[in-house]
Structure 1
């Protein structure tokens, strides 16, 4: 999906794909620190969008704004999907001491619909079992979440996100620090989600990973540098300007 940003700051899609998320002149941050500055961007529906940039460029902040976790200081965010987005944090953000099994963690994905104190229905349990199987962690269902490896734990968190059955799945660097098998499994599941008509947005600092996405938002120092097809965004000149290095071949 090609996006053209015109002088007025509005967005025009040229292939008729309806956007899942549109950000209008969004500025956001924490306390007195402004992280994002006047970002106008579009996320196409049923596609995988990667948010890319150096450390400190505002990737996670942008994801939090799209998720509704962080309110913009100015500007607006329009989301087409209901229910609320499903947010998948990095595995390192989850405490090793949480007293829950892998199945319990995935079942938490159903709480948005049920509330935390209601019992899972037969259908809810079937959804949890399906998500465990899709991430190939059904054999770990009774293990404590904190006892898992980083790759196993990340797969459990992705399964929890899938269990929410949202049309918009947001993931913060889901493959960082993982072994190749965990990366492959998560990438395959995300491709399946897009094929099923759901929208995926994930952050990364890996150029090779970004080039495999459908759409790219490139950030630097809290500003949107470019957006569009990854091969069009991540040109040799752009990569050199942002990272002061050459694009991988």
Structure 2
């Protein structure tokens, strides 16, 4: 039976005078993949940031079950500028359990190796993160998110800038996480990615236009309203 993992009510997010989310209310199911679909500026990243606890709310509430910090994977990361290897980057995911720069246990190292293998970047483990292509770097950041072993995985455009094969690796990893009980929320521009999810939110101009199973939400009429304001 599907349970509610995150309850959001009347959520408003502002950046100065700009309103990013306008009174959004929704429930997100647990142990499933929820896709946030919408054009640029629709509020997808802001919603992820609020759920992660890194973007402040101007109004409204966000109730998240469980107390463990969510694993939050963004498209651009501060670690891009650090002189760290791919393995170091993924190992940072264990900081949620060990604390920063603490010595990893045998199990920690096994988790890191497993995450490198799942994203097919084990052969890149010793390379500097900054030397990777954008798609390879994105896979490393997704692997870092997996390494946190959180019950809530938040992904902002996880397949952005990756090739088809890498995109399939990321999609498989996401599906595997949901299958083992992890709640996954991901922002995407890709219709095919949203169609794979178990639940979907369709956003435009900071408003929720539709929600529910992708087959019910991602209709031609709804997609037209989302990308072409005159159709609303």
Using the size of structure 2 for normalisation, the TM-score is 0.94
Describe the SS at the equivalent of 1:219. strand
Verify: 1:37 aligned to 2:22, yes or no. Answer: yes
**Alignment partner of 1:178 out of 144, 162, 177:** 162
Describe the SS at the equivalent of 1:110. helix
Matches within 5 A, 1:1-150: 16-90=1-75, 92-93=76-77, 96-150=80-134
More helix by share: 2
Once the two structures are superposed, residues 40-60 of structure 1 have per-residue CA deviations (whole angstroms, 9 ceiling, x without a partner) of 011111111000111111110
For the 8 Å contact 2:202–2:226, the answer to whether it is kept is no
Structure 1 unmatched runs, 5+:
1-15
Once the two structures are superposed, residues 102-153 of structure 1 have per-residue CA deviations (whole angstroms, 9 ceiling, x without a partner) of 0000011011222113211122111111111111111111000111112211
Counterpart CA distance in 2 for 1:29 and 1:51 is 19
The total of aligned residue pairs comes to: 229
Verify: 1:208 aligned to 2:198, yes or no. Answer: no
Describe the SS at the equivalent of 1:83. coil
Describe the SS at the equivalent of 2:209. strand
Counterpart CA distance in 2 for 1:130 and 1:104 is 14
Counterpart CA distance in 1 for 2:96 and 2:213 is 33
What is the RMSD of the two structures over their aligned residues, measured on CA atoms? 1.5
Structure 2 unmatched runs, 5+:
none
Counterpart CA distance in 2 for 1:107 and 1:176 is 22
**Alignment partner of 2:173 out of 189, 195, 199:** 189
Counterpart CA distance in 2 for 1:159 and 1:222 is 30
